[in-house]
Amino acid sequence: MVTQIEQILVEAWKKFCNYYDTKAPQYRQNWRPKLTEEPAKKLSWICWNENDLIFHTGRFFYDILKQNKGKEFSNIEIHLEKNISPPNFNMYPFAMYQFADRLEKLKTRLKKWPKVDIIVAFEDSNASFLLCAEVKCFHCAQRGGPIPVINADIEKLKVIRDLGIAKSVVFILFDDYYWCNDVATFAEIQQKLEEIKQEGGIIVLFHTSKAKLENY
């Protein structure tokens, strides 16, 4: 089941990337046909911020989930931007009897109750979450640089994975800034993502907004 959920999320990501790459050039052609390349680099279309990216990923996930009509998928839901903390789960038996000690360890290791961008879970089971994902959308320069931002999310996912709170963890990154405004930093991002992939244990999904500059 976990492998199937991973595959669905990967497919949902591919559908988003295709959606973006198809729609973004149309935005410029239809809305701002005289827009030159430099100002176009600074405009964010389709995903104005990280919340939009989380939403699009979720909606494509549900579209694919509906196509899998098997009974094993009927009780699966996505929850977005949820704090993993006792107050949010104290009405759930699995939180009280299986997760209580893990939640305390989670806070100890991360120094706070973490917010997770995407949680995929059974609605009627006391099992661990099927999947947790962190989503990042770089549409401007990150304070302190992008690498510490990535590292913080990866550390969060590792702790969630290692404590058994989720059976699978995924890091999603959409770069709408560095690839066209800071080539050197973009290379660092690519190297960092490759290191994460090589280490294993975390699925990495990555795309850029290059399509918005098509035909310049």
Identify the domain containing residue 199 by its residue range.
2-213
Q: What is the pLDDT of residue 32?
A: 65
Q: What is the pLDDT of residue 161?
A: 96
Compute CA distances 189 → 6, 45, 113, 144, whole Å.
Answer: 23, 22, 27, 14
**Rounded CA separation 166/159 (Å):** 10
pLDDT digit of tens for each residue in the chain (216 aa)?
678 899 999 999 999 999 999 998 887 777 666 677 777 778 888 999 999 999 999 999 999 988 876 666 778 889 999 999 888 776 655 544 567 778 888 999 999 999 999 999 887 766 689 999 999 999 999 999 999 999 999 999 999 999 999 999 999 999 999 999 999 999 999 999 999 999 999 999 999 999 988 766
- Domain count of the chain? 1
DSSP classification of residue 142: P
Question: Could you give the 3-state DSSP secondary structure of residue 216?
Answer: coil
The three-state DSSP-derived secondary structure of 190-201 is HHHHHHHHHHCC
Question: Could you give the 3-state DSSP secondary structure of residue 31?
Answer: helix
Compute CA distances 24 → 32, 35, 56, 192, whole Å.
Answer: 12, 13, 14, 27
